[in-house]
Amino acid sequence: MNAALATTTATTPVLRRASPLLRHCSPIKSSVFRRNRVGFRSGVQTVSKTLLRISASSQSTSAAAGVATDASIPKEMKAWVYSEYGGVDVLKLKSNIAVPEIKEDQVLIKVVAAALNPVDAKRRQGKFKATDSPLPTVPGYDVAGVVVKVGSAVKEFKEGDEVYANVSEKALEGPKQFGSLAEYTAVEDKLLALKPNNIDFAQAAGLPLAILTADEGLVRTEFSAGKSILVLNGAGGVGSLAIQLAKQVYGASTVAATASTEKLELVRSLGADLAIDYTKEDIEDLPEKFDVVFDAIGMCEKAVKVIKEGGKVVALTGAVTPPGFRFVVTSNGEVLKKLNPYIESGKVKPVVDPKGPFPFSRVADAFSYLETNHATGKLVVYPIP
């Protein structure tokens, strides 16, 4: 509660109690007292109105600035932080990190679950420090949680909403300094969507960056109904969703996907018509050619050899061989909203690595496992206290 509001709240009952006392004194006929009484009442009303104006002004200013004034929101929180670039050992769990203040177009989310992506590791290693936000950094792009405060310009979301998002609009260009591996995070409303109602927070946290990447990759290749696609690393976070979106959302005629021997059944269950064991088969030996290759592993040089004439290759990592191309995903709540019905109908399912979820205290272990490049689907951190 701000000082002006506290003063108003404390003063008003006193002013109200003063009024009956004045009425009890009314039989006294002294004109001097009557004039003083009127003057006192006038003064009381003036002071009261002034205090209320100050309070309203103070509340308006606080709301416009997006300051978290709710008494239930602490000033400090637990968060994973690194103050220098490097290996997993630079990650530190701290309990005295300031809870972010929100801007007018942001909401404050009480984080319930978060997830890791390869870009989290590359960022921590300093692979794009020239365009990174300043250190120290609270890592994390993916979040699922509950809105606890909204900025003054936010119209679509309210306190209590269960939401999910990729918190950084641009993954490599000035990503948020204070990400999702914390008890609270601030997110622009345009990046948010309501959490699909048929999945839990842990499953929802594994979706945003990966499903946005898969969808944008398909859009950029102009993928459409009746086309064929080969997904390299079909059991990974992005690949597992690219298979499903190509089949269920974009109407692929044929979906092929590579995976290790033990993960072939998984990619088939996600919708792959042809599951290719990359430990035994070379994609260059396949009799088929594809309209699109979605390279989520770093094999662009081979990928360009298995496309039809005029086909396209999108490469997420590794060297790019023409006509292959790369892009950096843009976070967009509208895309999540577009895809929510497919998730809620069960046509598109989140894939969470069976070694998880990792508890908040084991984020460093989750990073170590992420960097083995053997994760299935997404690595989720849950619960976050």
What is the full per-residue pLDDT of the chain (385 aa) written as tens digits?
Answer: 443 333 333 333 333 333 332 333 333 333 333 344 444 344 434 434 433 333 333 333 333 334 445 779 999 999 999 999 999 999 999 999 999 999 999 999 999 999 999 999 999 999 999 999 999 999 999 999 999 999 999 999 999 999 999 999 999 999 999 999 999 999 999 999 999 999 999 999 999 999 999 999 999 999 999 999 999 999 999 999 999 999 999 999 999 999 999 999 999 999 999 999 999 999 999 999 999 999 999 999 999 999 999 999 999 999 999 999 999 999 999 999 999 999 999 999 999 999 999 999 999 999 999 999 999 999 999 999 9
Specify the 3-state DSSP secondary structure of 378.
Answer: strand
How far is Cα of residue 200 from the mean position of the Cα atoms in its chain?
Answer: 15
Q: What is the DSSP letter of 359?
A: P
DSSP 264-311: HHHHHHHT-SEEEETTT--GGG-S--EEEEEESSS-HHHHGGGEEEEE
Number of C-beta neighbours around residue 299 at 10 A:
24
Residue extents of the structural domains in the chain: 76-195+352-381, 210-315
Cβ neighbours of residue 70 under 8 Å, at least 6 residues apart?
148, 149
The CA radius of gyration of the chain, in Å to the nearest whole number, is: 28
Q: Which CATH number fits domain 76-195+352-381: 3.90.180.10, 3.30.450.40, 3.40.50.970, 3.30.9.10?
A: 3.90.180.10
CB-CB contact of 291 with 229 (8 Å): yes
**Domain covering 210-315, topology:** Rossmann fold (3.40.50)
Distance from C-alpha of 129 to C-alpha of 127, rounded to nearest angstrom: 6
Number of H helices, E strands in the chain: 10, 13
Residue 17 backbone class (left: φ over 0; alpha: ψ -120 to 50; beta: rest): alpha
- Proportion of the chain in helix, strand, coil states, percent, rounded to 5: 35, 25, 40
